[in-house]
Amino acid sequence: MEQSGKDKRIGVFVCHCGLNVAQSVDVEKVVQEISSYPGVVHAEHYQYMCSEPGQELIRKAIKDHNLNAVINANCSPSLHEKTFRGLVQAEGLNPYHQEVANIREHCSWPHANDRQTATRKAIAIIKATIDRLKLNMALTPAVINLNKKVLVIGGGVAGMQAALRIANGGYEVVLVESSPSIGGHAAQLSGTFPTLDRPACLVAPMMAEVAAHPRIRLYAYADIEEVSGYVGNFAVKIRAKATCVDETKCTNCGRCFEVCPVAVPSEFDRGLSDRKAIYRPFAQAVPFRPVIDVLSCAHFSDDGCSACEQVCSENAISYDQKDTVIEEELGAIVVATGYDLITRGIAPEYSDDPDIIDGMQLERLLSPTGPTGGVVKRPSDGKVPKEVVFIQCVGSRDQEHGKSYCSRVCCLYVAKQSLLYKRSIPEGQAYVFYMDIRSDVKGTEEFVQNVVEKGRTMYLRGRVSKVFRDGDKLKVWGVDTLTGKSIEIAADMVVLATAMVPRTDAKDLARVLNIIADQNGFFTEAHLKLRPVDTLTSGIYLAGTAQWPKDIPDTIASASGAASRILSLFSREELLHDPAIAYVDEELCVGCGQCVSICAYKAITLDEKQKLASVNEAICEGCGACAATCPSKAMKHKNWTPKQFFNIVDVFTKEYE
Q: By the criterion CB under 8 A, which residues form the site for other proteins?
A: 76-78, 102, 104-114, 117-118, 121, 124-125, 128, 514, 516, 518-519, 536, 580, 598, 600-601, 621-625, 627-629, 637, 640, 642, 645-646, 648-650, 652-657
Q: Degrees (nearest 5) of the Cα angle 163, 164, 165? A: 95
How many Å is the Cα radius of gyration of the chain? 32
Instruction: Between 487 and 623, name the residue whose CB sits nearer to other proteins.
Output: 623
Cis check for the bond before 287: say yes or no (omega within 30 of 0): yes
Cis check for the bond before 532: say yes or no (omega within 30 of 0): no
Please, what is the minimum distance in Å from the beta carbon of residue 652 to other proteins?
4
**Which amino acid makes up residue 124?**
A
Instruction: Between 132 and 438, name the residue whose CB sits nearer to other proteins.
Output: 132
What single DSSP character describes residue 58?
Answer: H
- In angstroms, the Cα distances linking 656 to 217, 324, 651 are 67, 69, 10
Q: Tell me the CB-side half-sphere exposure of residue 290, using CA atoms within 13 A.
A: 27
Instruction: Between 102 and 616, name the residue whose CB sits nearer to other proteins.
Output: 102
Q: Tell me the CB-side half-sphere exposure of residue 564, using CA atoms within 13 A.
A: 9
Please, what is the minimum distance in Å from the beta carbon of residue 482 to other proteins?
37
Please, what is the minimum distance in Å from the beta carbon of residue 640 to other proteins?
6
Q: Please tell me the distance from the alpha carbon of residue 204 to that of residue 175, in angstroms, as a whole number.
A: 17
Instruction: Between 349 and 650, name the residue whose CB sits nearer to other proteins.
Output: 650
Please, what is the minimum distance in Å from the beta carbon of residue 415 to other proteins?
35
Q: Degrees (nearest 5) of the Cα angle 503, 533, 497? A: 40
Q: Please tell me the distance from the alpha carbon of residue 634 to that of residue 445, in angstroms, as a whole number.
A: 62
Please, what is the minimum distance in Å from the beta carbon of residue 162 to other proteins?
24
Please, what is the minimum distance in Å from the beta carbon of residue 128 to other proteins?
7
- Secondary structure (3-state) at 624: coil
- Secondary structure (3-state) at 650: helix
Instruction: Between 249 and 654, name the residue whose CB sits nearer to other proteins.
Output: 654
Instruction: Between 126 and 425, name the residue whose CB sits nearer to other proteins.
Output: 126
Q: Please tell me the distance from the alpha carbon of residue 112 to that of residue 72, in angstroms, as a whole number.
A: 20
Q: What 3 state SS string does 292-338 have?
A: ECCCCCHHHCCCCCCHHHHHCCCCCECCCCCCEEEEEEECEEEECCC
Please, what is the minimum distance in Å from the beta carbon of residue 563 to other proteins?
25
Please, what is the minimum distance in Å from the beta carbon of residue 77 to other proteins?
7
Instruction: Between 108 and 192, name the residue whose CB sits nearer to other proteins.
Output: 108
Q: Please tell me the distance from the alpha carbon of residue 53 to that of residue 137, in angstroms, as a whole number.
A: 29
Please, what is the minimum distance in Å from the beta carbon of residue 645 to other proteins?
5
Instruction: Between 4 and 519, name the residue whose CB sits nearer to other proteins.
Output: 519
Q: Please tell me the distance from the alpha carbon of residue 83 to that of residue 103, in angstroms, as a whole number.
A: 17
Instruction: Between 77 and 593, name the residue whose CB sits nearer to other proteins.
Output: 77
Q: Please tell me the distance from the alpha carbon of residue 443 to that of residue 556, in angstroms, as a whole number.
A: 17
Please, what is the minimum distance in Å from the beta carbon of residue 71 to other proteins?
14
Q: Please tell me the distance from the alpha carbon of residue 272 to that of residue 543, in angstroms, as a whole number.
A: 30
Q: Please tell me the distance from the alpha carbon of residue 306 to that of residue 379, in angstroms, as a whole number.
A: 32
Instruction: Between 149 and 637, name the residue whose CB sits nearer to other proteins.
Output: 637
Instruction: Between 596 and 625, name the residue whose CB sits nearer to other proteins.
Output: 625
Please, what is the minimum distance in Å from the beta carbon of residue 93 to other proteins?
21
